Amino acid sequence: MSRKIVMPFGPQHPVLPEPIHLDLVLEDEAVVDVIPSIGYIHRGLETLVAKREFTEYVYVAERTCGICSFIHGMTYCQGVEQVMDIEVPPRALYLRTIWSEYSRLHSHLLWLGLFADAMGFENLFMNSWRLRENVLDVLEDTTGGRVIQGSCKIGGVRKDISTEKLGIMAADLDDFESRLSELTEVFLEDDSIKSRLVGVGKLSRSEAYDLGASGPTARGSGVDIDIRKTGYAAYRDLRFTPVTETSGDCYARCAVRARELFGSIDLIRQAIEKIPEGEIDVKVKGNPDGEYFSRAEQPRGELVHYVRGDGSKHLVRSRIRTPTLTNIPPLIKMLRGCELADVPVVVLSIDPCIGCMER
Amino acid sequence: MKIEEQRTTFITVENLIGQVEKFRTDGYRLVQVNCTKIGEQFEINYSFEKEYTFENLRIVIEPETEVPSITGMFWGAFVYENEMHDLFGVQVRGMNIDFRGTFIRTSVPYPFKNPVFKGEGPCQEK
């Protein structure tokens, strides 16, 4: 019988963009157990509700994550709007949807690049991030910010997109989509990538559901949950089907994200086609008094912003539950039984965002 | 217009395990567990979802009350329970993985236990 040893993985590791520590219990080269540790970059953002008025806190909410900052800001605003019964103008809801989907494109392309890098495929990494630059350019053109957009506020949005610009964005999507097809074909068809991903880090459907997996991690195991189906923002007016795969391995999670890129392009096209004319914000009067669990589908999965007000200008509580936190228990299950050499790929397959998770 | 209806049921600590077990056997998934300090008490919400129906169980406890862990029914709940302990100091009994206060590393223990609002802290007095 082999001797068990404990090997630390992280918090600093070449494939980890952010710090997470895993104690890997190994028997020869096989991982038999995993103990995760987080907490290296806890910033205490949630306590800032005590220092910032509820209208200002949107800036804090946006800075929870540097990748899907827009969706954090929007989910927070949506929560306060639900508490205060604010009717957001339809045009603002469509603009939020468009920016959310561009954020998803940006996040998935960033992840595909990092994933390629983790597999040692440098050229594919560079190609993914080259395409991502086009998305960042659109976000910068329309909001003024590449990383932190700052375009969402309680009651609507701060910036409009002209009809002319929307037309240019729609036209540019055709070329972008064809270049995306070339890129994703490599991820989904290349033999060396398949040999690295197929059958690695398996998570069954029941395990994914029971352990609380979220987003592409859940959908890669056949769990058909996508919070956009609740119809927030303009999603109730748009047609889409959540992307699912059934094999539950690293390849399935990669395939879900690759296919979701095309789903986002389709949603942006629909939103541009249907966006109504009109106001982009309404005046907010009074202070929030009540509570709401605001939910949205981040690129990594279900995001929850719990907001609780007591009628004063400061919220009593803001709680941000990010998808990475809920994907940690499924990650432990995926890693048990895998080979040590596969650990980096399996960890990255949940698309961990530690800054987001620790707030 | 409400995006979704969110029902909250108030229960006692003694009924927590039985109620959570019901959600588990009915096929709900655990969405999140969170703690809020209201006055001198803590309010803990357990959120579940099934087919986009969102439900909450809520308990209100005193600071010294020990809460039973739900990790026997929802294995992944240890992330929320450890977080609740590390940030608010809520004592949770019987967690499957107990980090004993090291899950979220903070410079001061239980930083969310006594939040300081604007105007209340020493900096505002200078």
pLDDT in tens, chain A (359 residues): 578 888 898 788 887 778 888 889 988 888 898 888 887 788 878 787 777 888 888 998 988 888 888 999 999 999 999 999 999 999 999 999 999 999 999 999 999 998 898 888 888 999 999 999 999 999 999 998 888 888 899 999 999 999 999 999 999 999 999 999 999 999 999 898 898 889 898 999 999 999 989 999 999 999 999 999 998 988 999 998 999 999 999 999 999 999 999 999 999 999 999 999 989 999 998 889 989 999 999 999 999 999 988 888 888 888 888 999 899 999 999 998 888 888 888 988 888 888 888 78
Residues of A in contact with B45 (CB under 8 A): 306
Q: In CATH, what number is assigned to the domain containing residue B78? A: 3.30.460.80
Mutating which of B34, B43, B54, B98 best tests the A interface, going by the most A Cβ atoms within 10 A? B34
Cβ–Cβ gap B76/A209 under 8 Å: no
Q: Which amino acid, residue B88?
A: F
**Is the C-alpha dihedral spanning B76, B82, B85, B87 positive or negative?**
negative
CA nearest to A269, candidates A181, A176, A184: A176
pLDDT score of B121: 65
Min Cα distance B16 → chain A (Å) is 19
pLDDT score of A352: 85
Mutating which of A83, A319, A332, A336 best tests the B interface, going by the most B Cβ atoms within 10 A? A319
Cα–Cα distance for residue pair B35/A126, rounded to 1 Å: 43
Cα–Cα distance for residue pair A306/A294, rounded to 1 Å: 6
Helix axes A122-143, A90-118, angle to 10 degrees: 160
Q: Are A288 and A307 in contact (CB under 8 A)?
A: yes
- Convert A251-273 to b/e letters by CB count within 10 Å (16 or more is b): bbbbbbbbbbbebbbbbbbbbbe
Quickly list H helices, chain A: 57-62, 69-84, 90-118, 122-143, 163-189, 191-197, 205-210, 216-219, 250-274, 323-335, 343-349, 354-358
Using the predicted structure, report yes or no on whether residue B113 has a pLDDT greater than 80: no
Of the candidates B34, B56, B118, which has its C-beta nearest A51's C-beta? B118
Q: Are A165 and A141 in contact (CB under 8 A)?
A: yes
In a domain, B1, yes or no: no
* Boundaries of every domain in chain A: 40-325
Q: Which chain B residue lies closest to A34 (C-alpha atoms)? A: B97
Domain extent, residue B35, equals 6-125
Residues of A in contact with B47 (CB under 8 A): 293, 304
| Residue A76 contacts B where some CB pair is shorter than 8 Å | no
CA angle (A17, A20, A256) in 5-degree steps: 60
| Residue A25 contacts B where some CB pair is shorter than 8 Å | no
Of the candidates B30, B105, B117, which has its C-beta nearest A42's C-beta? B105
In a domain, B99, yes or no: yes
- The distance between the two most distant Cα atoms of chain A, rounded to a whole number of Å, is 72
Of the candidates B54, B79, B117, which has its C-beta nearest A329's C-beta? B79
Q: Are A61 and A129 in contact (CB under 8 A)?
A: no
Under CATH, what is the fold of the domain A40-325? Cytochrome-c3 Hydrogenase; chain B (1.10.645)
Q: Are A235 and A227 in contact (CB under 8 A)?
A: no
Cα A127 to chain centroid distance, Å, stands at 21
Residues of A in contact with B37 (CB under 8 A): 316-317
Residues of B with CB under 8 A from a CB of A: 1-4, 6, 29-32, 34, 36-38, 45, 47, 52, 54, 56, 74-80, 83, 86, 97, 99, 102-106, 111-112, 115-118
Using the predicted structure, report yes or no on whether residue B126 has a pLDDT greater than 50: no
pLDDT score of A142: 93
Cα–Cα distance for residue pair A64/A44, rounded to 1 Å: 10
Using the predicted structure, report yes or no on whether residue B114 has a pLDDT greater than 80: no
Of the candidates A51, A329, A358, which has its C-beta nearest B75's C-beta? A329
Token pair, residue B39, equals: 């006055």
Cβ–Cβ gap B99/A82 under 8 Å: no
Residues of B in contact with A319 (CB under 8 A): 32, 34, 36
B-facing residues of A in 210-269 (CB < 8 A) are 210-212, 225, 229-232
Token pair, residue A222, equals: 């056949």
Residues of B in contact with A42 (CB under 8 A): 104-106
Domains contained in chain B, number: 1
Of the candidates A44, A295, A316, which has its C-beta nearest B36's C-beta? A316
- Split at pLDDT 50, 70, 90, the class of B109 is confident
Mutating which of B20, B25, B26, B32 best tests the A interface, going by the most A Cβ atoms within 10 A? B32
Q: How much is the pTM? A: 0.91
Token pair, residue B82, equals: 């450890």
| Residue A11 contacts B where some CB pair is shorter than 8 Å | no
Q: Which amino acid, residue A43?
A: R
Q: Tokens 């090291």 map to which residue? A: B102
